[in-house]
Structure 1
Amino acid sequence: MTVAIIGYGRFGRALGSLLEEAGIDYRALDPVADVPASRRAGSMRELLTGATRVVVAVPVPRMREVLEAMLPHLRPEQLVLDVGSVKVKPVQAMNEVLGTRVPWVGTHPLFGPLSLAMAERPLRVVVCPNPLYPEAAREARAFYERLGCEIIEQTPEGHDRVMAHTHALTFFVAKGMVDAGSGVDVPFAPASFKALSRTIETVRSDAGHLFTAIQHENPFAREARGHLLHALEAIHHELETIPPEAATPDTPSMELPALETGLPELKETRELIDQLDHDLVELLARRAELARRALRAKAQAGTPVPDPAREEAVIATRRAWATELGVDPEGMEAIFRAILRFSRRAQQTKE
């Protein structure tokens, strides 16, 4: 398999790293990005010649012009995949430009450079089956599964509706808070805001064009924003009309819906512990992936793998963190020594 990547921005580079880890050869073309010389194609013809998979990783507004530039050099045995964060418009463009001449399928990797840098798992990809080429979705699935991804099949419309009420609204709320000066880190912020602050920072780390794309290119984003603004305005109006002396926790219309009521304290506490333990396991899985990444970097640099000085520095830092938080440093040291052993075993395990 040889993959051609058109567009070597943040996601194109991230995809390239995944391909390298999977042992898949690729070339890339981007007139403005810095493509490594060993991966750089000098022209569209050179890029597409011999490629079996063609990934279009350009902003959605440029999709049509790029597809038209590709078309003279494509062959029927190739498969074209887009990776846009919206699906209705890219699928429409591929249908109109490529049609039945070349197999194609719309996809949306639900991860980005930050997700990969933080070793978040699982990596999920939405694939929108193409009725013109029923086999294309299966080939796309096999391609992403080889990269270690889980696949979700969805129609372009279904995908964009979900993204409008999740992805687009998250960016919308986060940008509003940033513009209002709320997205700042303060030491006395409550835990509820700290969780939201992490979301804001995640959104801010994405490229600026992504905000515009998911708001303007998703045909359902405007409707989702309108519903949210209407709900917020109604809440604001209701708060303004309730006299301060009457605004008690018993005010029915102001109560937040609970996920479940009447849980005994012990049962609720156990459920919270289970959820926290699940989060810890996910974090340890990400740590294992980062440990394997560090091993590969050491191998490339010719650095010795065992690093006792680094491990002792890690232990000392974690003990200090524990002391600051009022947690037993001896117990924390024992936990992190076990984590280091776990990481070493993960480095020895083939992916």
Structure 2
Amino acid sequence: MDIPQLRAQLDQIDRDLVYLAAERQRIVAEIGRSKRGTGRPLRDFKREKEVLDNVRGHAREAGIDPELAAGLMELLIGASLTRQEQDTVRALSQGNGRRALVIGGNGRMGGWFARFLDAQGFAVEIGDPTGAPEGFARRERWDAGPLDHDLIVVATPLRPAARILAGLASHRPPGIVFDLGSIKTPLRESLQALQAAGVRTTSIHPMFGPSANVLAGRHVILIDTGNRDALEAARALFASTTAVTVEMDLDEHDQMIALVLGLSHALNIAFTAALAGSGVAPERLRAVSSTTFGAQLAIAEGVARENPHLYFEIQSLNAHNGPALTALDEAVHTLLAAVRSGDEQQFVDLMSRGRDYLHALPE
């Protein structure tokens, strides 16, 4: 057979693959409806492992790389979870026509939360002077009208969030109020003011960005600010998803975020700054990229595209950031000293300490 004929065969196989994927999604939707009817959780890790193990076995029989087959199946499983989760969020309708105001809802994360609430059946209004996502009612000022919503979400940067939360305390809205801030210590006084005013308030931190389509394996941190009713209401918003909720107090949150966000952001900002100062074109680096460099560059590129003002807030406003950045500074200086002085043992000890720490963590 000549090349055009072989390519025609490939085209037919590609069409078949697409239609088979569509048929798989149809069956997935049926499974999702069945799960909703019986109250079973959306995600079944045991079943996912069975599917991947089976696919690897089929791949060996077919004479192809088992990990290639598993990778393709993981993409399909991710698409399946997305379909089931979105259908379930809509079907369970946590909102039931209740009203929500998203202050800062024209921002990226505010817009995500507005769409998330809309999918649950909330009647969502946006309070944002810069505009609103298409299809949403809007007020230019958050306080330019009644604040009698069932839910008020503050999705602005930290400094205005502190002012808005304090302002809400003076208005004493009857609904539940919470923020989406990446750091909580700068909001402490405002959250305490809301509590003192008798407002049902809590604080949450979605540990994902606005591009998240499915919450499988994602975490949502719930901060206990003294009102269990508000905290459980916030938790209930994610009950129909596959997100994992983690509860902690305000100070523990910021201590953890100093490492989870502050340290990781600092590493990647320094990495891209060092590359920018190297004088070597990015295309040239990609041409000789190693596995480690490629993985690091992909993470760093994501960080580099984010809002630098938000990232500065995460670094500068977290009262618990100091020890993490100090530890990073000390580790870099120890590394440089070991390399420059030719102290191999110091270098080995530094790597061994990190290896032992990571190997002590559970899988």
* TM-score for both structures, normalised by structure 2: 0.63
2:240 counterpart of 1:142: no
The whole-number CA distance in structure 1 between the counterparts of 2:240 and 2:152 is: 16
Larger deviation: 161-170 or 83-92?
83-92
The whole-number CA distance in structure 1 between the counterparts of 2:201 and 2:240 is: 18
TM-superposition CA deviations, 1:147-202 (whole Å, max 9, x none): 65321001111111111012111111111111222694612211011111121122
The whole-number CA distance in structure 2 between the counterparts of 1:29 and 1:38 is: 10
Within the candidate set 174, 180, 194, 1:83 is matched to 180
* Residue 115 to residue 202, structure 1, CA distance change in 2 (3 Å): farther
Q: Which amino acid aligns with 1:115?
A: A
The whole-number CA distance in structure 2 between the counterparts of 1:130 and 1:123 is: 22
Structure-2 residue corresponding to 1:221: 321
Structure-1 residue corresponding to 2:271: 177
* Structure 1 residue 35: Cα displacement: 4.2
Matches within 5 A, 1:1-351: 1-8=98-105, 9-36=107-134, 38-45=136-143, 48-75=146-173, 77-116=174-213, 119=214, 121-131=216-226, 133-146=227-240, 149-181=243-275, 184=282, 186-242=286-342, 247=344, 252-253=348-349, 255-256=351-352, 258=355
CA contact (8 A) 2:262 2:314 kept: yes
| Structure 2: 5+ residue stretches without partners | 1-97, 358-362
CA contact (8 A) 1:28 1:39 kept: yes
* Residue 147 to residue 56, structure 1, CA distance change in 2 (3 Å): farther
CA contact (8 A) 2:101 2:152 kept: yes
The whole-number CA distance in structure 2 between the counterparts of 1:57 and 1:50 is: 18
Q: Which amino acid aligns with 1:198?
A: A
CA contact (8 A) 1:67 1:94 kept: yes
CA contact (8 A) 1:108 1:126 kept: yes
| Structure 1: 5+ residue stretches without partners | 261-274, 276-351
* Structure 1 residue 6: Cα displacement: 0.5
The whole-number CA distance in structure 1 between the counterparts of 2:113 and 2:180 is: 10
The whole-number CA distance in structure 2 between the counterparts of 1:150 and 1:25 is: 25
Structure-1 residue corresponding to 2:79: none
Structure 1 outlier segments of 4+, above 6 Å: none
| Partner-residue secondary structure (3-state), 2:189 | helix
Larger deviation: 9-18 or 182-191?
182-191
The whole-number CA distance in structure 1 between the counterparts of 2:348 and 2:264 is: 27
TM-superposition CA deviations, 1:21-64 (whole Å, max 9, x none): 33322111111244436321254346654411110111111123
| Partner-residue secondary structure (3-state), 2:237 | helix
The whole-number CA distance in structure 1 between the counterparts of 2:100 and 2:310 is: 24
The whole-number CA distance in structure 1 between the counterparts of 2:133 and 2:172 is: 22
| Partner-residue secondary structure (3-state), 1:181 | helix
The whole-number CA distance in structure 2 between the counterparts of 1:254 and 1:130 is: 39
Q: Which amino acid aligns with 1:152?
A: V
The whole-number CA distance in structure 2 between the counterparts of 1:146 and 1:102 is: 26
* Residue 165 to residue 44, structure 1, CA distance change in 2 (3 Å): closer
CA contact (8 A) 2:128 2:142 kept: no
Larger deviation: 86-95 or 8-17?
86-95
* Residue 4 to residue 182, structure 1, CA distance change in 2 (3 Å): same
**Number of matched residues?**
253
* TM-score for both structures, normalised by structure 1: 0.65
* Structure 1 residue 120: Cα displacement: 5.6
The whole-number CA distance in structure 2 between the counterparts of 1:3 and 1:149 is: 21
* Residue 72 to residue 147, structure 1, CA distance change in 2 (3 Å): farther
CA contact (8 A) 1:53 1:78 kept: yes
Structure-2 residue corresponding to 1:333: none
* Residue 253 to residue 22, structure 1, CA distance change in 2 (3 Å): same
* Structure 1 residue 141: Cα displacement: 1.0
The whole-number CA distance in structure 2 between the counterparts of 1:70 and 1:147 is: 29
Q: Which amino acid aligns with 2:188?
A: V
| Partner-residue secondary structure (3-state), 1:44 | coil
CA contact (8 A) 1:91 1:105 kept: no
The whole-number CA distance in structure 2 between the counterparts of 1:2 and 1:115 is: 24
TM-superposition CA deviations, 1:101-133 (whole Å, max 9, x none): 2111111111111334xx4633321011122x2
CA contact (8 A) 1:44 1:73 kept: no
| Partner-residue secondary structure (3-state), 1:161 | helix
Q: Which amino acid aligns with 1:82?
A: D
